[in-house]
């Protein structure tokens, strides 16, 4: 498939997101950035000390304004998935290159977040395993923590959002407790070092720009809930959470940072997140500080990774819908899995993971992220006249500040990092160009759509065995791991065992959910869907459905049963079914599986088809009874039996009429077409013959003048005059033109006759000249009236036309009748001329005689009776028709002609036209040896039918 094939796929063919997420689940994703503060604050605190608060304050203000702006954009773009980066593409729709760059820069930062989380978790486990004497399987942990959220995301259930919500609530609550309790302890505790520091260190603009650039990693990402607006069941509630998320920023980012700044003052802590947060919380949490901070850090990493695999595919999906990247990323499975988008996200995560340098990954990822928001603010300024833009002037001011911060802070983090960060989105755009250009099936949405349409849903029939086996495996593994750590903890006198317990606990929870997503959860979802489908069918079915127990007592009834029994379904429960269907006696196990029952109610008898099937349970037996009303079908069957012969006859006539009508319609179209095509050149010839005659007469007069004035022409002219016989030419040329004119007029008459005969526009009843229709038909058949050879005779036509007024009729159909009758008469006369005539008095059959017909004739007579009946007689002096054949003349498909000489439809259709269309009569009068006469009688005036 080429790029053209991509472009031909309209957006209507892309599957849309179903609104399956609750508002609370989308809120959970919106808290991820707040919890990520735990990983950022130690680094800026170690670098700036108390001056870090002056970086956090403007970053938080800008972040809060951003939340309000994104909320307004979300209300305007309520069906746009992916949130902020895809809103930016809408604002920059006139600059598609910048729009694509902004969205991909935003995406790469989130992707880098997952890789950083994986490395942080691995290092945390490694640090806690070393005192236990256990070697850390680094590669295994890297791959496991990277794949873990993807395994859940690929399952196609809501397990990821529910799992995220389950842990984000306690983690966020614990974080808020840290901030509030820490500020309270600083304010009121007698051993507090004081709420404010005794001195402030200096802060250069370069340092401020460098770390402002860094903290926007968290403060700009509190709008994550907007990414899930398109598949939220209540998008308004999801967007409303952005207000809450904005006002959660000051207590966490400012209050929490203040607590760390005042309590984690030991310079040996450096930028270690765990040590700084433990030092800050230990004064008011005591011995619970270590395990609480471990939970916060592990939660921040795992929940951040879950948000990445939920957010990034939606960004790619919307970019594909808006034609910014390959359409393949718009593909979504029936269960809402973004398989191509998830796959690309996984590939990018693995690239970052292989790189492995956390500091470089954060710096590079943050550059694309920062530029993305710069372009968002640019788009807000460019679209400042739009109602969805809240603070255009503030956006412009923030943009100008961000430009300075990017240049100063970006170079402060290293020019190479800045260059890589700026080029990374372009590299991803290059990957997308390759996907668009390579002719590989999996790179085209049609391949995925066919796969989703044809791939069956795999349901394990006996899932109990699988679930029990998994449960046994998990329990045994948990006991084994617990025993191993118990032995190690007893042998090694060290603190920190509870930290590894927290990591193990949350990791096992994620692993357990991942296993369930591929085992039990699909079964649960399938069962729930099957139950909903069954309940829906039970409710909307037009047939009555009853559930009875083994005694025949009704236990359930669907709404349709009310139309059968005339009572509310609730009143049916507790009654035996034979109360309404007396034939169903005794117990259901003795009932016939399928039977017809008579239901008497409201004075009417109704015939029901009753189908019964058993539904066994472990503790009881019940039966499903389906009632289908077949009363109308029975009545129809009875009517059908009584009228079968008549219907067969009507069907036979209808077939014959259709066949003949199609034949005559085709003939009429052909005749009209030929007449039209002939008419144009004949009109040209006929119209120009007169002018040609005039021009020739002028030339002849001119020639005569030359002869008079130059009586003695030169020798060469004399020779040419004798060669062409000029005197004869002058005398014969007018005669030639006259005969050409006569021929053209003759052709014109024939064309007119063809056009009158075809009468394709005569679908309505009109008053017409019957004689004109007969004459036109005779003109068409004139070639058959002439002798075919010297041995054949011409057929003489004798007309005895009466004085007929215009007759109301279907002219085209009546011409068909004339054509059929005259053609049959010609056929009979030709046969008589060729074979002669002899009649066997004994058998009254046709035979070849000894004498031939001397003068074949067709006699046509018309007259108007006193009852205003028009009578048309068409007779011939041919061999006649035997009496027994006359009885079958008007039956469809009956013919005495050999194969390929006739269909046997002409007289049948003629009879229908006269009798049904014109309320007239068509009779045949014939005697062997005396010829045949067909008599047509139709009223002069009649109503159309």
Q: What is the pLDDT of residues 158-185, one digit of tens each?
A: 777 887 888 888 999 999 999 999 999 9
- Position 658 pLDDT exceeds 70: no
**Average pLDDT value for residue range 588-595:** 81
Cβ neighbours for 38, distance < 8 A, ≥ 6 positions apart: 175, 273, 277, 293, 296, 297, 300
Cα–Cα distances in angstroms (integers) from residue 559 to residues 575, 597, 602, 749, 940, in the given order = 16, 20, 19, 75, 62
- The reported pLDDT for the residue numbered 409 is 86
Look at residue 456 and give its three-state secondary structure.
coil
- Position 157 pLDDT exceeds 70: no
Pick the closest to residue 935 from 883, 862, 828 (CA basis).
862
**Average pLDDT value for residue range 368-372:** 91
- The reported pLDDT for the residue numbered 519 is 62
- The reported pLDDT for the residue numbered 921 is 92
Lowest-pLDDT range, 9-23, 452-466, 612-626?
A: 452-466
Quick: pLDDT tens for 665-699. 555 555 666 666 676 677 667 667 777 777 778 78
Residue 219 pLDDT grade (very low, low, confident, very high; cuts 50, 70, 90): very high
* Burial of 47: CB neighbours in 10 Å, binned 0-12, 13-18, 19+: middle
- The reported pLDDT for the residue numbered 476 is 64
**Average pLDDT value for residue range 433-458:** 77
- Position 492 pLDDT exceeds 50: no
> Cα–chain-centroid distance for residue 382?
36
Quick: pLDDT tens for 382-434. 999 999 898 899 999 999 999 999 999 888 888 888 898 899 999 999 998 89
Give the residue, 713 or 757, on which the prediction is more confident: 713
Give me 366's structure tokens.
Answer: 């943050």
Residue 212 pLDDT grade (very low, low, confident, very high; cuts 50, 70, 90): very high
Give the residue, 700 or 51, on which the prediction is more confident: 51
Interatomic CA distance for residues 45 and 37, integer angstroms: 12
Pick the closest to residue 82 from 230, 216, 222, 220 (CA basis).
230
- Position 569 pLDDT exceeds 50: yes
- The reported pLDDT for the residue numbered 358 is 75
CB atoms within 10 A of CB 742: 11
Give the residue, 937 or 141, on which the prediction is more confident: 937
Interatomic CA distance for residues 357 and 367, integer angstroms: 16
Residue 513 pLDDT grade (very low, low, confident, very high; cuts 50, 70, 90): low
Most confident of 121-125, 346-350, 672-676, 742-746: 346-350
**Average pLDDT value for residue range 478-494:** 55
> Cα–chain-centroid distance for residue 939?
59
Residue 518 pLDDT grade (very low, low, confident, very high; cuts 50, 70, 90): low
- The reported pLDDT for the residue numbered 761 is 44
Interatomic CA distance for residues 500 and 498, integer angstroms: 6
Cα–Cα distances in angstroms (integers) from residue 288 to residues 295, 387, 647, in the given order = 11, 51, 93
- The reported pLDDT for the residue numbered 403 is 93
* Burial of 374: CB neighbours in 10 Å, binned 0-12, 13-18, 19+: buried
List the beta bridge partners of residue 596.
609
Residue 499 pLDDT grade (very low, low, confident, very high; cuts 50, 70, 90): low
Give me 945's structure tokens.
Answer: 């039918």
**Average pLDDT value for residue range 474-498:** 56
Quick: pLDDT tens for 86-145. 999 999 999 999 999 999 999 998 888 888 888 877 777 777 666 666 677 778 878 888
- Position 448 pLDDT exceeds 70: yes
- The reported pLDDT for the residue numbered 231 is 87
- The reported pLDDT for the residue numbered 670 is 59
- The reported pLDDT for the residue numbered 660 is 56
- The reported pLDDT for the residue numbered 1 is 35
| Pairing of β 544-549 and β 554-557 | antiparallel
Element (H, E) at 554: strand 554-557
Interatomic CA distance for residues 657 and 663, integer angstroms: 10
Interatomic CA distance for residues 439 and 433, integer angstroms: 12
Residue 495 pLDDT grade (very low, low, confident, very high; cuts 50, 70, 90): very low
Look at residue 939 and give its three-state secondary structure.
strand
Q: Tell me what the pLDDT averaged over the chain comes to.
A: 79
Give me 797's structure tokens.
Answer: 């036509």
**Average pLDDT value for residue range 187-196:** 88
Phi-psi region of 931 (alpha: psi -120 to 50; beta: other; left: phi over 0): left
Look at residue 271 and give its three-state secondary structure.
coil
- Position 6 pLDDT exceeds 60: no
List the beta bridge partners of residue 932.
876, 926
> Can you list the positions of beta strands (E) in 602-662?
604-616, 621-629
Lowest-pLDDT range, 361-365, 621-625, 657-661, 859-863?
A: 657-661
Kindly report the CA angle at 934 between 931 and 938, in degrees rounded to 5?
Answer: 160
Give me 763's structure tokens.
Answer: 């679908």
Backbone angles phi, psi at 801, to 5 degrees: -80, 130
Phi-psi region of 341 (alpha: psi -120 to 50; beta: other; left: phi over 0): alpha
Quick: pLDDT tens for 46-83. 888 888 999 999 999 999 999 999 999 999 999 899 99
- Position 300 pLDDT exceeds 50: yes
Look at residue 901 and give its three-state secondary structure.
coil
Most confident of 350-359, 546-555, 818-827, 868-877: 868-877
Q: What percent of the chain has pLDDT over 90?
A: 21
Most confident of 233-237, 460-464, 576-580, 727-731: 233-237
**Average pLDDT value for residue range 867-885:** 88
Residue 4 pLDDT grade (very low, low, confident, very high; cuts 50, 70, 90): very low
- The reported pLDDT for the residue numbered 847 is 44
Positive/negative CA dihedral, 708, 713, 718, 720: negative
- Position 940 pLDDT exceeds 50: yes
**Average pLDDT value for residue range 243-249:** 94
Residue 12 pLDDT grade (very low, low, confident, very high; cuts 50, 70, 90): very low
- Position 760 pLDDT exceeds 50: no
Residue 8 pLDDT grade (very low, low, confident, very high; cuts 50, 70, 90): very low
| Pairing of β 796-800 and β 766-768 | unpaired
Give the residue, 491 or 595, on which the prediction is more confident: 595
- Position 42 pLDDT exceeds 90: no
pTM: 0.59
Give the residue, 223 or 153, on which the prediction is more confident: 223
């Amino acid at each position: 498939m080429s790029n053209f094939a991509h472009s031909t796929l309209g957006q209507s063919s892309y599957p849309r997101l179903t609104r399956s997420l609750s508002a609370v689940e989308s809120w959970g994703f919106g808290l991820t950035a707040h919890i990520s503060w735990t990983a950022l604050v130690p680094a800026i605190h170690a670098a700036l000390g108390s001056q870090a608060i002056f970086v956090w304050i403007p970053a938080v203000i800008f972040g809060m304004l951003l939340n309000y702006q994104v909320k307004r954009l979300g209300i305007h773009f309520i069906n746009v998935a992916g949130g902020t980066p895809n809103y930016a593409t809408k604002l920059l729709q006139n600059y598609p290159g910048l729009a694509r760059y902004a969205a991909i820069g935003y995406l790469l930062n989130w992707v880098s977040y997952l890789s950083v989380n994986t490395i942080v978790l691995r290092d945390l486990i490694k640090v806690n395993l070393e005192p236990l004497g256990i070697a850390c399987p680094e590669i295994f942990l890297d791959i496991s923590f990277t794949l873990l959220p993807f395994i859940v995301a690929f399952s196609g259930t809501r397990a990821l959002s529910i799992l995220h919500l389950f842990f984000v609530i306690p983690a966020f609550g614990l974080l808020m407790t840290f901030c509030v309790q820490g500020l309270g302890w600083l304010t009121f505790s007698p051993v507090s070092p004081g709420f404010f520091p005794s001195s402030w260190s200096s802060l250069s603009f370069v340092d401020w720009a460098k770390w402002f650039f860094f903290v926007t990693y968290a403060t700009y990402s509190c709008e994550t809930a907007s990414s899930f607006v398109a598949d939220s069941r209540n998008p308004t509630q999801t967007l409303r959470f952005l207000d809450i998320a904005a006002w959660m920023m000051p207590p966490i980012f400012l209050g929490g940072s203040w607590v760390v700044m005042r309590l984690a003052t030991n310079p040996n802590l450096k930028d270690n997140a765990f040590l700084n947060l433990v030092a800050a919380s230990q004064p008011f949490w005591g011995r619970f500080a270590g395990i609480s901070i471990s939970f916060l850090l592990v939660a921040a990493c795992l929940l951040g990774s879950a948000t990445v695999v939920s957010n990034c595919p939606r960004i790619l999906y919307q970019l594909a819908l808006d034609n910014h990247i390959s359409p393949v990323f718009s593909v979504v499975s029936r269960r809402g899995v973004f398989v191509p988008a998830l796959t690309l996200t996984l590939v990018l995560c693995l690239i970052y993971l292989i790189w492995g340098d956390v500091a470089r990954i954060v710096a590079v990822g943050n550059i694309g992220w920062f530029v993305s928001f710069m372009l968002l603010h640019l788009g807000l300024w460019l679209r400042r006249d739009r109602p969805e833009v809240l603070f255009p002037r503030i956006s412009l001011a923030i943009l100008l500040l961000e430009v300075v911060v990017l240049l100063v802070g970006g170079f402060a983090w290293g020019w190479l990092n800045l260059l890589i960060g700026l080029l990374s989105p372009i590299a991803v755009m290059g990957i997308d160009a390759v996907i668009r250009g390579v002719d590989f099936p999996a790179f085209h949405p049609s391949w995925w759509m066919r796969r989703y349409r044809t791939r069956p849903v795999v349901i394990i029939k006996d899932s109990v065995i699988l679930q029990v086996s998994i449960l046994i495996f998990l329990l045994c593994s948990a006991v084994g791991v617990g025993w191993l750590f118990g032995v190690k903890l007893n042998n090694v006198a060290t603190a920190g065992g509870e930290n590894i317990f927290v990591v193990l606990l949350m990791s096992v929870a994620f692993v357990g959910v991942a296993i369930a997503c591929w085992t039990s959860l699909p079964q649960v979802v399938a069962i729930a869907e099957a139950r909903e489908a069954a309940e829906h069918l039970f409710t909307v079915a037009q047939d009555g459905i009853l559930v009875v127990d083994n005694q025949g007592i009704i236990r359930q009834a669907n709404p349709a049963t009310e139309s059968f029994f005339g009572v509310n379904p609730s009143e049916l429960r507790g009654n035996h079914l034979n109360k309404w269907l007396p034939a169903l006696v005794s117990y259901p196990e003795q009932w016939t599986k399928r039977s017809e029952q008579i239901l008497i109610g409201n004075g009417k008898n109704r015939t029901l088809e009753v189908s019964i099937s058993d539904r066994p349970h472990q503790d009881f037996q019940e039966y499903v009874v389906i009632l289908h009303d077949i009363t109308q079908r029975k009545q129809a069957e009875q009517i059908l039996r009584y009228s079968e012969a008549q219907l067969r006859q009507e069907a036979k006539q209808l077939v014959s009429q259709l066949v003949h009508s199609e034949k005559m319609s085709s003939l009429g179209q052909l005749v009209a077409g030929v007449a039209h095509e002939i008419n144009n050149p004949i009109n040209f010839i006929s119209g120009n013959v007169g002018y040609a005659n005039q021009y020739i007469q002028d030339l002849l007069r001119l020639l005569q003048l030359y002869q008079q004035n130059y009586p003695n022409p030169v020798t060469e002219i004399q020779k040419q005059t004798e060669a062409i016989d000029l005197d004869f030419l002058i005398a014969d040329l007018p005669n030639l033109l006259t005969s050409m004119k006569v021929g053209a007029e003759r052709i014109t008459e024939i064309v007119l006759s063809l056009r009158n005969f075809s009468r394709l526009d005569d679908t309505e009843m009109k008053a017409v000249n019957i004689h004109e229709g007969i004459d036109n038909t005779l003109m068409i058949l004139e070639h058959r009236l002439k002798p075919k050879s010297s041995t054949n005779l011409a057929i003489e036509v004798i007309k005895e036309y009466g004085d007929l007024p215009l007759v109301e009729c279907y002219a085209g159909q009546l011409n068909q009748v004339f054509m059929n009758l005259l053609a049959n008469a010609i056929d009979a006369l030709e046969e008589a001329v060729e074979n002669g005539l002899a009649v066997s008095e004994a058998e009254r059959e046709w035979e070849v005689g000894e004498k031939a017909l001397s003068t074949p004739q067709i006699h046509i007579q018309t007259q108007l009776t006193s009852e205003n009946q028009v009578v048309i007689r068409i007779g011939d002096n041919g061999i006649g028709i035997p009496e027994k054949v006359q009885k079958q003349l008007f039956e469809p498909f009956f013919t005495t002609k050999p194969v390929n000489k006739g269909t046997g439809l002409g007289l049948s259709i003629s009879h229908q036209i006269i009798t049904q269309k014109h309320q007239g009569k068509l009779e045949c009068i014939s005697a062997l040896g005396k010829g045949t006469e067909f008599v047509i009688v139709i009223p002069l005036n009649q109503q159309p039918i």
